[in-house]
Structure 1
Amino acid sequence: MKVLLLGSGGREHALAWKIAASPLVERFWCAPGNAGIAQEAECVPLDLTDHAAVIRFAKENAVDFVVVGPDNPLVAGMVDDLEAAGIKAFGPVKAAAQLEGSKGFTKDLCREFGIPTAAYERFTDAAAAKRYIAEKGAPIVVKADGLALGKGVVVAQTLDEANAAIDMMFGGGFGSAGSEVVVEEFLTGEEVSFFALCDGENALPLGSAQDHKRAFDGDEGPNTGGMGAYGPVPVFTEALAKSAMDDFVLPTLRAMKQRGAPFKGILYLGLMLTPQGPKLIEYNVRFGDPECQVLMLRLKSDLLPALIAARDGGLKTMNLRWSDEPALTVVMATRGYPGEYRKGSVIRGLDAANGDGVMVFHAGTAIRDGAVVANGGRVLNVSATGKTIAEARDRAYAAVAKIDWPEGFCRNDIGWRALQS
């Protein structure tokens, strides 16, 4: 098969690494890719907002299957356009991708179909939102309705913080993503990510992981796109995994089918394990980043047939094999992230870091004058497996120590919840 992967992040490097290992693959491209992905696929400089250019490339190269990695192209209807052009693609169509593209859409779906989630209201007017916040009190959560690079959520501890978030979002802080906001109940508990591969009717569980959203140790600092992850999550029992499928994934598939937009692709549940049971924080419609890196390290089966089965409606008879060993990934980011940061710093020591149960996935890298340089905020995902989470953590941080990149930083406590329990 000839396969095209779309994206350029750490998630896409992990997917490229697994897809490239498939015996089904005859030729493999990634657009636009990064320095690490270039070791697995031919990188092509396509603009993913230009759907016509992607379709033209796919047709000219007789691509058999396209895997869409990031959220933005999915929400923008990339799969719809590829399929309309006769090109098979993995991922939800635009109408189904609203589960991530609009938080208000998701909350209304949960309310209509009885899917457990936090109490909420939707607002297009700042004054009305502030009145609701004053009535409910703090802490409270303010969310931009649309996509905001994983940063469109403010967990406000005070009324002043909540009102400031409202002013920021309606003031254009997240562009059009903040033209509507969702204000919702603050939930307490432990947060877990759960993933399922879906074909419109059937779903195959892929397991759990736990992301670390805050920039600094001890869950301090601003929210980021994710500073590390591990999985599976010890507190996420078999009973909770069954609840994730029975109370969230399968009802969502039934709801989307009823709405005329069957969901095919990856359904990612952000769950809060509250004292009253799990509640949905959000849906994503693609693999998590950095959770994907953890899942791909643990997956023993060929990924590509499973992705094809999801697109073709054939998951009912599909099974996947998983390693019993946990995996953990540490994100190395450019100093200043998630605020302002400088691109172009040279990264050395990557070859020394790989091996001995360790895989360094590239997120924001490029090749310049023969050297690997930082080309984004989150730059490397230093990932490892081990017999225990502690062993995976120790391997990952030993590899981090071998990477010579003074302009980078990472959290030093990835996996802390699992290790203290």
Structure 2
Amino acid sequence: MRILGIGETNDLAAMYHGFVRRGHAVRVFVADPACADVFAGMLDFCDDWERELGWVREAGEDGLVLFESATRGELQDRLRREGFQVIGGSALGDRLEADREFGQQVLRDAGLKTAASHRFTDYAAATRFLREHPGRYVLKFNGADGARTRNFVSEMEDGCDVLALLSLYAARAAAGEAVDFVLMQHVEGVEVGVGAYFNGREFLQPACIDFEHKRFFPGELGELTGEMGTIVSYRGATRLFEAALAPVAPLLREGGYVGYINVNLIANADGLWPLEFTSRFGYPGFAICEALHEEPWEAIFRRMLRRDGLAIATRRDFACGIVLSVPPFPYRHGYEALSKGAPICLRDSLGASDREHLHFAEVARLDGQLVTSGATGYVGVATGVGATVESANAEALRIARGVVVPNLRYRRDIGERVARGDLVRLQSLGWYDSPLSLRMHLHPAMA
């Protein structure tokens, strides 16, 4: 195949590299100059993706344009109209993720309950609202490319903590700075995601269930990073899929969506409460899902584009993914001085098959040495697969321990809360439809 990858920060670098290792031709466009060196020495890059379209078209059915973000949907729609095969999303997908109010309305129309959500475009209005309606809220900024570290989950019952944070944001805002965010009523329960691949007409099966761990430190402490690790399975998601994703298939079909889509939810005794759409590949979600695939990405993509089948061959196990990072992740400030260019070494204990479970992200090859690159210190993700959450976690940790980088950090408790109660509770609520396989004997430091 000939694959043209288009994105901002080269988030799909590990996927592209897999294509190259399996004999496919790949060219990558990276819009963010700070990430121009991600996978340098390991991939072929272009500085003008439009000049590469002829190269893609010459390959016919073996030509593919692959998008990694939910910010170029109109471009994807245009390329499809021009006859190109495109996987990623669509303009509709961009709106589902970036415009949280719209995404919530779509899910209400699908029959789900939604928590009260209020949109604001200035801090003063939000401050007045909180003073008049005190309570726990979740602050989320609109826009698919917004910094996740600015989002905030209130801990105080009267919302005084989010009120104080908004005052800080307002004081530091530049003159004329545009803001767009929502305050969503806080809902207690099990946080869970369900995702699947849509081929423009139908969903491929099986769907996957996931449990993200978004905070930086073990025990769900620290800033919201986007994701520090996740438990994934392709078994047990049927009821969640039928409730949250299947009803939006007609809308996705009408909107020309082709790619992966996920809905994050809270499940409790009152039902399912959708939080947000992810209308693109998840990071590190794609790598963790890959650990469970029994066929390569190109086989799945061909099936999506040709619409000649709806089944994906997957393992029946759990997969655990652990994000590996160096300072100042999840921020950009100070990366050049702190960690950029640091050597990455692999222990001899990692065999060739083990290294298949390392999905590097912000790295480059310089004079034969693997080093950190990019903009934030997101080194990559270590994955492990097992019949239980415990064994998947143990395998991922074994892989992670084989990576040596100065000041490397990662969480060791990915899956702990899933094994301690989330899956059991989800099944008791009627939303998990697979036999439980949960054991997690915790390291003393985690207990």
- Judge same fold: TM > 0.5, yes or no: yes
Per the TM alignment, residue 26 of structure 1 is displaced from its structure 2 partner at its CA by 4.5
SS of 1:379's partner is strand
Give the aligned partner of residue 369 of structure 2: 371
Alignment of 1:209-224 (within 5 A): 209-224=210-225
Letter in 2 for 1:282: E
Give the aligned partner of residue 264 of structure 1: 258
- Alignment partners' CA distance in 1, 2:363 and 2:116: 40
- Alignment partners' CA distance in 2, 1:392 and 1:355: 19
Q: Percent identity?
A: 21
Alignment of 1:20-419 (within 5 A): 26-32=24-30, 42-46=43-47, 53-60=48-55, 62=58, 64-72=63-71, 74-75=72-73, 77-147=74-144, 148-158=146-156, 159-167=159-167, 179-204=179-204, 205-232=206-233, 238=236, 241-256=237-252, 261-311=255-305, 314=307, 317-339=309-331, 340=333, 341=335, 342=338, 343-349=340-346, 352-353=349-350, 355=352, 357=354, 359-375=357-373, 376-419=376-419
Cα 1:321–1:60 change in 2 (3 A) is: closer
Per the TM alignment, residue 417 of structure 1 is displaced from its structure 2 partner at its CA by 1.6
Give the aligned partner of residue 49 of structure 1: none
- Alignment partners' CA distance in 2, 1:388 and 1:175: 53
- Alignment partners' CA distance in 1, 2:201 and 2:289: 23
SS of 1:66's partner is strand
Does the aligned pair in 1 maintain the 2:261–2:279 contact within 8 Å?
A: yes
Per the TM alignment, residue 362 of structure 1 is displaced from its structure 2 partner at its CA by 0.6
Does the aligned pair in 2 maintain the 1:198–1:266 contact within 8 Å?
A: yes
Letter in 2 for 1:289: Y
Does the aligned pair in 2 maintain the 1:10–1:289 contact within 8 Å?
A: no
SS of 2:201's partner is coil
TM-score, normalised on structure 1?
A: 0.83
Higher mean C-alpha deviation, range 279-288 or range 29-38: 29-38
Q: Describe the superposition over 1:307-354 as per-residue Cα deviations: whole angstroms up to 9, x where unpaired.
A: 344345x27x42111112222121111123223333222111267535
The gaps in structure 2 that reach 5 residues or longer are: 31-35, 422-447
Q: Describe the superposition over 1:358-413 as per-residue Cα deviations: whole angstroms up to 9, x where unpaired.
A: 51111111223332221233112111223332222222222322322122211121
- Alignment partners' CA distance in 2, 1:10 and 1:60: 20
Does the aligned pair in 1 maintain the 2:385–2:391 contact within 8 Å?
A: yes
Per the TM alignment, residue 283 of structure 1 is displaced from its structure 2 partner at its CA by 0.2
Q: Describe the superposition over 1:142-171 as per-residue Cα deviations: whole angstroms up to 9, x where unpaired.
A: 111113144352112233322244346667
Does the aligned pair in 2 maintain the 1:144–1:169 contact within 8 Å?
A: no
- Alignment partners' CA distance in 1, 2:184 and 2:346: 45
- Alignment partners' CA distance in 1, 2:175 and 2:413: 33
Does the aligned pair in 1 maintain the 2:14–2:361 contact within 8 Å?
A: no
Per the TM alignment, residue 207 of structure 1 is displaced from its structure 2 partner at its CA by 0.8
Per the TM alignment, residue 305 of structure 1 is displaced from its structure 2 partner at its CA by 4.1
CA RMSD of aligned residues (A): 3.2
- Alignment partners' CA distance in 2, 1:350 and 1:65: 36
- Alignment partners' CA distance in 2, 1:407 and 1:390: 26
SS of 2:240's partner is helix
SS of 1:44's partner is coil
Per the TM alignment, residue 219 of structure 1 is displaced from its structure 2 partner at its CA by 0.8
- Alignment partners' CA distance in 2, 1:228 and 1:86: 37
How many residues align structurally?
Answer: 400
- Alignment partners' CA distance in 1, 2:37 and 2:390: 30
Letter in 1 for 2:322: V
The gaps in structure 1 that reach 5 residues or longer are: 47-52
Cα 1:273–1:298 change in 2 (3 A) is: same
